[in-house]
Amino acid sequence: MNASMVFPLRQFAFARGQLDRAAHLRDHADKLAALRARPDAGCYVMQREGMVLRKTDNGLNPMLPYALAKTLPVDSLEIFLGLRGETPLFALPLRRGAEENFNHAGLELSDLRPLATQGLLSHDDLSPLAEAKSLIGWHRRHGFCANCGTPSTPTSAGWRRDCAKCDIQHFPRTDPVAIMLVTDGDTCLLGRSARFASNMWSCLAGFVEPGESIEDAVRREVLEEAGIVCGEVSYFASQPWPYPSSLMIGCVARALTQEITIDPAELEGARWFTRAEAQAMLENRHAEGLTAPNPFAIAHHLLTDWVRNGDS
């Protein structure tokens, strides 16, 4: 039975994984070799912020036949991403500097984020692309053992790095970020960071710190950034965010106070919006021209759900 038949899956970018990661195959060189040799084996060839795309009659496709991917200037590092149905999927990083003179018939390079934002990639591809981007970025930033400083070696089909000197295994990291819609009856709190597109307002967000629960992180971030005290915090949904390897944990928080005091180092502004205003922002018809994040981001879905259902 497909998971979507059991759970109502939301269409978040990066979050709708239909891939079986097949972790039990990662340490079997013979089985991986057989998967690579399959004529339907697919591969994403990644560069720092993007990937190689194949021009097809149906547009741009980021999944290349594995055999074609291996003809490109790629690193020896290989990630086994999993199985989509029977089809094995791998990821290979383009060699550093290879993007400079990248000239291969029918192929081009593009950054991931603009294509994902504009909805030009399928959800079937976005989830493994997030997996590939996060993992390859981790390998690039963690070439040395954090315990003794010796160069470490990728193993387990790209899911671990081992240090031969001190015999320690290093696992890829995921950084939890709490992103929250603060509500107070028929109003919600949105903020603006200086790096946002002009006129866009969104949910507040911040990293969960070591030793902190998600709920405490939500209350701390809202207090630090906007001076609002929150009570009840409830979980909404999560979204992998491969920039470089975050997990956005969407929450709804009930405000206990209303007076806003922003931290100017974090926010340019924060204000309360009515439900009608939030709806107008989502539909791009706000009287002041203010907008909310597009469906690419979990903030859009937090806001949409509240506009539709309120503090349920």
Note the residues at the interface with Zn ion (CB under 5 A): 145, 147-148, 150, 163, 165-166
Q: What are the tokens at 291?
A: 């907008």
Between 152 and 238, whose beta carbon lies closer to Zn ion?
152
Q: Name the packing angle between helices 275-282 and 298-309 (round to 10°).
A: 130
Q: For Zn ion, which is the closer residue by CB, 16 or 161?
A: 161
Nearer to Zn ion, 165 or 308 (CB): 165
Q: How far is the CB of 152 from Zn ion (least distance, A)?
A: 7
CB 86 within 8 A of CB 20: no
For Zn ion, the closer CB: 163 or 226: 163
Nearer to Zn ion, 120 or 166 (CB): 166
Nearer to Zn ion, 118 or 147 (CB): 147
CA distance 200 to 291: 5
Q: Which of 266, 290, 259, 286 lies closest to 182 in space, CA to CA?
A: 259
Of 162 and 212, CB closest to Zn ion: 162
Cβ neighbours of residue 10 closer than 8 Å, sequence gap 6 or more: 16, 237, 301
Nearer to Zn ion among residue 28 and residue 173 (C-beta): 173
Cα angle for residues 182, 188, 193 (degrees, 5° grid): 75
Is-contact 245 137, C-beta < 8 A? yes
Cβ atoms within 10 Å of 164's Cβ, excluding its own: 11
